[in-house]
Amino acid sequence: MNQDFTYFNPTQVFFGKDAMESLPAILEGCGESILLAYGGGSIKKNGIYDQVMEILTRCGKQVTEFSGIMPNPTYAKVLEGGALARACQADLILAVGGGSVIDCAKAVALAAEEDGDLWTKYWIEKQAPDFDPIPVGAILTMAGTGSEMDGDAVITNEETKVKTSCWDYAIYPRFAILNPAFTYSLPEYQMVSGIFDSLSHIMEIYFSPEDGDNLSDDLAEAVMKSIIRNTPAAIQNPRDYTARSNLMWASSLALSGLLSPSKTEDWEVHQIQHQLGAYYDCAHGMGLAAISPAYYRLVCPYGLPKFKRFAVNVWGIDPAGKSDLETALEGIDALAAYIRDSRMTATLRELGIPDDTQLADIAATCARRRGGYHMLTQAEILQILRESF
């Protein structure tokens, strides 16, 4: 662990089958007005909405509902939520859903306290707020983004066709309720999309310097192996509590900061997918799955020792009689096979992108990061997109 670091995570987690029993005590210190944020209404079908409303009513809270948050929340939706939060003088934003709902709630916490061009200030210039945003709490219903334990708010600006994040400790959820049983009703497509999102978060951190003996890489390998091991069990039986609990906690750990110390982190796969999401309203995790093998094949020679280690330690590839590059590429092939075997999206065409006419525009607008082993050119990004198509 050769790089200095500071670690802090302010989110208090309540995990398990009885995690919701903690909510009344949590609400005692949260004020009277609650903005209840959720998505398209699935929580009303699976009974979670009724559970939450019963507790809020019993605790005497004034509830204002902010519904209809889409899978790729837009800046316009954030502004709508901000106006609603101001109108009801919300003391707490309670996000019930997956990462999109939680991300939107964090953004609303900013929008409720400030007027003006928030997009430029927080999402483009990445400024820190000079005020205390409305507190956010999370009740997780889909594992994948890790938003329940981080300070990111990923939002899409439909007008500029840019999808990006802002980050600050001030918008970390104050608490997160994680009951794996709340994920049982997810369709398989959404479940496996979230699973790959979790795995991708870890790979973005793992495939970056430093590469010496460091505990962060050891932890990352353990969490990746747990995800890979539990994926087929969850597909075979979506109500397998052991599998779903391991996958949920892996998702939270991936972006909790625990795997990041002494790492520079890559995040280029996410930059590419964000622009795919800005142009096409596609599932985030499935987009990551579609482009990851092509991306890693391109950057593999620049970080060959780590890719060989990934192949051997995570996928169990036998390096005997093989060059380091051959071993590394077998590891990436194993990742691609895992994507196919887990019924994840293996190509952009499978993702629903009908043709390649906008790939050049997507490549030209992708942000490029220096944290990984190789900083891509725009031409290389286009190459990755075409190979993924």
* Digit-coded pLDDT (tens) for 197-244: 999 999 999 999 999 999 999 999 999 999 999 999 999 999 999 999
With tokens 């939002």, the residue in question is 155
Neighbours of 68 (CB within 10 A): 13
Share of the chain above pLDDT 70, in %: 100
The count of C-alpha atoms lying within 13 angstroms of the C-alpha of 136, restricted to the half-sphere facing its C-beta, is 38
Confidence at residue 278, expressed as pLDDT on a 0 to 100 scale: 86
Neighbours of 12 (CB within 10 A): 14
Q: Return the DSSP state at 299.
A: H
Confidence at residue 295, expressed as pLDDT on a 0 to 100 scale: 98
- Rounded Cα gap, residues 291 and 380, in angstroms: 12
**pTM, two decimal places:** 0.95
User: For the segment 53-96, what is each residue's pLDDT rounded down to a tens digit?
Assistant: 999 999 999 999 999 999 989 999 999 999 999 999 999 999 99
3-state secondary structure (DSSP) of residue 184:
coil
Confidence at residue 40, expressed as pLDDT on a 0 to 100 scale: 87
Give me the tens of pLDDT residue by residue for the chain, a chain 389 residues long: 888 899 999 999 999 999 999 999 999 989 999 999 999 889 999 999 999 999 999 999 999 999 999 998 999 999 999 999 999 999 999 999 999 999 999 999 999 998 889 999 999 999 999 999 999 999 999 999 999 999 999 999 999 989 899 999 999 999 999 999 999 999 999 999 999 999 999 999 999 999 999 999 999 999 999 999 999 999 999 999 999 999 999 999 999 999 999 999 999 999 999 999 889 888 999 999 999 999 999 999 999 999 999 999 999 999 999 999 999 999 999 999 999 999 999 999 999 999 999 999 999 999 898 899 999 999 999 999 999 99
- Rounded Cα gap, residues 341 and 327, in angstroms: 21
- Rounded Cα gap, residues 370 and 130, in angstroms: 28
Beta-bridged to residue 13, according to DSSP, are 176
Angle between helices 75-87 and 99-111 (to 10 degrees): 60
Sign of CA pseudo-dihedral 247, 248, 251, 256? negative
3-state secondary structure (DSSP) of residue 326:
helix
3-state secondary structure (DSSP) of residue 365:
helix
- Asked if residue 262 lies in contact with residue 5, where contact means CB atoms within 8 angstroms, the answer is yes
Neighbours of 159 (CB within 10 A): 10
